[in-house]
Amino acid sequence: MERNEDGYVAENESYPVFNIDGEMDGMSSNFFMDHVGEVLLTINSNKLYWKVLQAGNKELNPSSCFGIKLASNVETEIEISDVYAVELINWGMIHDSDRPNGGGYLLGLDSEMFRFTVHGYQRSKTNHCQCILVAYTFGHKDLQTCQVWVDRVTSFINMDDRRPKNILVFIHPLSGKGNGCRTWESVAPIFSRAKVKTKVTVTQRAGQAFDVMASIEDIELKSYDGVVSVGGDGFFNEILNGLLRSRHNAALPPAPEEIVHFVANTGTNEIEPEISNQDQDPLLQCSGSRLSSFRNGIEARSTGQNATLSFPNEHLRLGIIPAGSTDAIVICTTGTRDPITSALQIVLGKRVCLDIAQVVRWKTTTFSNDAPFVRYAASFAGYGFYGDVIKESENLRWMGPKRYDYAGTKVFLKHRSYEAEVSYVEVSEELEDPTSKNILDSGTRSFVSAEKPERVICRVNCRICSESAKTTQILTNGSSLTQYNNVRTSRWLQSKGRYLSIGAAIISNRNGRAPDGLVADAHLSDGFLHLILIKDCPRAFYLWHLTQLAKKGGNPLNFKFVEHHKTPAFTFTSCGDQSVWNLDGEVLQAHQLSAQVFRGLVSLFASGPEV
């Protein structure tokens, strides 16, 4: 390649690159890279890479010390899958090499030329789950050459049809520390560069996002590739319920009265299910049109629109940009609580399936006569300690995330237990630790199980989630159930007694206070709930359990007073007058409820935590 009289590469000097079969696989050109020097830039459908050149178009050899070659600290490539945007920035300055010995060929001076920038990301060296923005700027004296390269990079990016083009965004301005709008402002340029259209709504009141999602026509919703929430887990729950309320028409789980109970004081008992004629079962008839409104806690009829959007749905994905107090769903699905990482996974079109629990309240109080009230949860449903904490913290929102620490301490000191009855579907193939079903008793028995169970953590391309998909049955209404989800004919077990807490974890629920989550080996899409029953025990032992939750590598489930059951469905009845549940950080008053999980019911803009 020859240079003109100014020392620059001749205009329009690009040439094709051929693969081993003799087919054109890309092209190469000489450019000046900002802060690097002259490079030979090459692109193919998988990668953009460059070689630093010396004067005379020779590849720059690595520096050496005492005859030992040292690797260059200059990046030399980026995968096309890691590029989220490319933009032409026209005439401007290209700076000389930052390398101590010059390196590239820039005549020792900064120069002006036409430029384009490739935007991508790299993994953080300290936290491999976190994405760090990177930008590489290349310059050339010829505008057409830059435009050709911008078009080529864009064409390779557009080959990935998973990337969204149009999304609906809801911002909760008061989430977490009240930084919802600031969080969006920090990531909005990523969507702009990636040419993703965004329709943004900053909510002004509680329930507004639910109202919009519940009332939007399916034909309009189909015009979007996804719905993104900027806020916490509770705000995502609001959007999730608005989406599924009138669109997910699955049979409801059995009410507690449908399960024939044995009389028992403590422990676990086998229950034979009542089998009813499904054609005459009123529960099946009310599952669609009698879904209750999430907004005010009162019954409301379906909007009556002709629902054409079914679930699971591969096209419409949900996304979360974290701005809440705990952000457990984001941590479990991306591995980090970082808005930049979440925004990048959205614009790059990442996708992971997420189990969703359908929770049905049958009675608000002991003597109330209520219509079935349906709610959906993506991370957790909790009673006792968890319900009391969320109820106590509702009036302390002005404290921000610290309200949970204050409320948790206050509830812990009260050390209240509640009498309740829980029934759950037995998973016959699941080999559970036999000590997990034992309860606290007196005598010389140890309070801690001797063996440490093996944990299989959910990661990117999780084998367990993938294998569970093979056993999934897709029903005619679009719902997905595991092989255990024929809950009306399954074998049920029962546990009755006094509980400090009852929890149903859909995912591991990792967060700042519980680095491994409530259940370290819970998976994103295996079709199971993790039912955790904490029997009444001395305060010191419960504190021991909580400290294990707060400890990395702890074993909070490895106690005799803790029951842990993997199940697709359960029912709950309080023996008191009323009770409060925590659903994804939102309060639900329920004396009697049922829950079942739907495997992979929604898709999320995420890829799962990296190893």
Q: What is the pLDDT of residues 460-503, one digit of tens each?
A: 888 888 775 555 444 434 445 444 456 666 789 999 999 999 99
Q: Which residue has tokens 């409060």?
A: 580
| Residue spans in the chain of domains classed CATH 3.40.50.10330 | 166-246+311-337+341-345
Question: What is residue 495's predicted lDDT score, i.e. its pLDDT?
Answer: 92
What is the DSSP-derived secondary structure letter of residue 165?
Answer: S
Long-range interactions of 69-77: CB distance < 8 A, separation 24+:
74/36, 74/99, 75/122, 75/134, 75/136, 76/49, 76/50, 76/51, 76/52, 77/47, 77/48, 77/49, 77/50
Question: What is residue 372's predicted lDDT score, i.e. its pLDDT?
Answer: 92
Q: At how many degrees (to 10) do helices 339-347 and 180-193 cross?
A: 40
User: What is the Cα–Cα distance from 133 to 344, expressed in whole angstroms?
Assistant: 9
- For residue 71, pLDDT over 90 is answered with no
Question: What is residue 477's predicted lDDT score, i.e. its pLDDT?
Answer: 42
The tens digit of pLDDT for each residue in 347-377 reads 999 999 999 999 999 999 888 888 999 999 9
The tens digit of pLDDT for each residue in 28-51 reads 999 999 988 899 999 988 999 999
Higher pLDDT: 442 or 510? It is: 510
User: What is the average pLDDT value for the chain, to the nearest integer?
Assistant: 80
**In sequence order, what are the beta bridge partners of 586?**
583
**What topology does CATH give the domain 27-53+75-97+109-159?**
PH-domain like (2.30.29)
- For residue 239, pLDDT over 80 is answered with yes
User: What is the Cα–Cα distance from 359 to 529, expressed in whole angstroms?
Assistant: 12
What letter represents residue 501's amino acid?
Answer: S
Write the CA distances from 142 to 31, 88, 91, integer angstroms.
Answer: 10, 12, 10
Model confidence band, residue 393 (pLDDT cutoffs 50, 70, 90): confident
User: What is the Cα–Cα distance from 236 to 129, expressed in whole angstroms?
Assistant: 22
Least confident of 84-88, 91-95, 434-438, 449-453: 434-438
Global confidence as pTM: 0.83
- pLDDT average, residue stretch 80-85: 95
What letter represents residue 482's amino acid?
Answer: T
Least confident of 75-89, 209-223, 502-516, 573-587: 573-587
Least confident of 88-102, 262-276, 346-360: 262-276
Q: Closest Cα to residue 55, out of 32, 71, 21?
A: 32
Maximum average pLDDT range among 104-118, 283-297, 406-420, 589-603: 589-603
| Residue spans in the chain of domains classed CATH 2.30.29.30 | 27-53+75-97+109-159
Q: Closest Cα to residue 92, out of 143, 153, 162?
A: 143
User: What is the Cα–Cα distance from 156 to 76, expressed in whole angstroms?
Assistant: 19
In 430-589, alpha helices (H): 463-470, 539-549
- For residue 530, pLDDT over 80 is answered with yes
User: What is the Cα–Cα distance from 265 to 260, expressed in whole angstroms?
Assistant: 16
Question: What is residue 601's predicted lDDT score, i.e. its pLDDT?
Answer: 95
Maximum average pLDDT range among 6-20, 70-84, 134-148, 301-315: 134-148
- For residue 310, pLDDT over 90 is answered with no
Whether the Cβ atoms of residue 549 and residue 290 lie closer than 8 Å to each other: no
- Which two structure tokens, joined as six digits, stand for 130? 């976190």
What is the widest separation between alpha-carbon atoms in the chain? 97
Q: Which residue has tokens 């590029």?
A: 83
| Interior angle at CA 461, CA 460 and CA 467, nearest 5 | 135
- For residue 5, pLDDT over 70 is answered with no
Higher pLDDT: 483 or 382? It is: 382
User: What is the Cα–Cα distance from 112 to 105, expressed in whole angstroms?
Assistant: 14
Whether the Cβ atoms of residue 32 and residue 140 lie closer than 8 Å to each other: yes
Question: What is residue 611's predicted lDDT score, i.e. its pLDDT?
Answer: 67
- pLDDT average, residue stretch 75-96: 90
Whether the Cβ atoms of residue 142 and residue 169 lie closer than 8 Å to each other: no
Question: What is residue 60's predicted lDDT score, i.e. its pLDDT?
Answer: 54
Question: Which residues does the annotation mark as catalytic?
Answer: 233
**What topology does CATH give the domain 355-428+456-598?**
Tumour Suppressor Smad4 (2.60.200)
Q: Closest Cα to residue 585, out of 278, 338, 241, 307?
A: 241
* CATH classification (class only), 166-246+311-337+341-345: alpha beta
- pLDDT average, residue stretch 338-355: 96
Q: Which residue has tokens 């009852």?
A: 502
The secondary structure element, H or E, covering residue 572 is strand 569-574
φ, ψ dihedrals at 154, nearest 5°: -60, -40
Whether the Cβ atoms of residue 591 and residue 577 lie closer than 8 Å to each other: yes
Question: What is residue 366's predicted lDDT score, i.e. its pLDDT?
Answer: 87
Spell out where 234-312 has E strands: 268-271
- Count the helix, strand and coil residues of the chain and give each as a percent rounded to the nearest 5: 20, 35, 45
The secondary structure element, H or E, covering residue 187 is helix 180-193
- For residue 207, pLDDT over 70 is answered with yes
In 293-447, alpha helices (H): 328-334, 339-347, 385-393, 402-414
Determine the length of the chain: 611
User: What is the Cα–Cα distance from 252 to 312, expressed in whole angstroms?
Assistant: 17
| Interior angle at CA 173, CA 382 and CA 513, nearest 5 | 40
| Residue spans in the chain of domains classed CATH 2.60.200.40 | 355-428+456-598
Q: Which residue has tokens 């016959």?
A: 428
- Which two structure tokens, joined as six digits, stand for 181? 């709008």
User: What is the Cα–Cα distance from 250 to 478, expressed in whole angstroms?
Assistant: 9
Question: What is residue 357's predicted lDDT score, i.e. its pLDDT?
Answer: 96
Residue 203 CA, chain-centre distance (Å), reads 22
Higher pLDDT: 437 or 311? It is: 311
If DSSP codes are grouped into helix, strand and coil, which group holds residue 198?
A: strand
- pLDDT average, residue stretch 283-305: 37
Whether the Cβ atoms of residue 322 and residue 338 lie closer than 8 Å to each other: yes
Question: What is residue 395's predicted lDDT score, i.e. its pLDDT?
Answer: 74
Least confident of 4-18, 146-160, 188-202, 455-469: 4-18
φ, ψ dihedrals at 193, nearest 5°: -65, -40
- For residue 512, pLDDT over 80 is answered with yes
**In sequence order, what are the beta bridge partners of 123?**
131
What letter represents residue 61's amino acid?
Answer: N
**How many CB atoms are closer than 10 A to CB 174?**
17
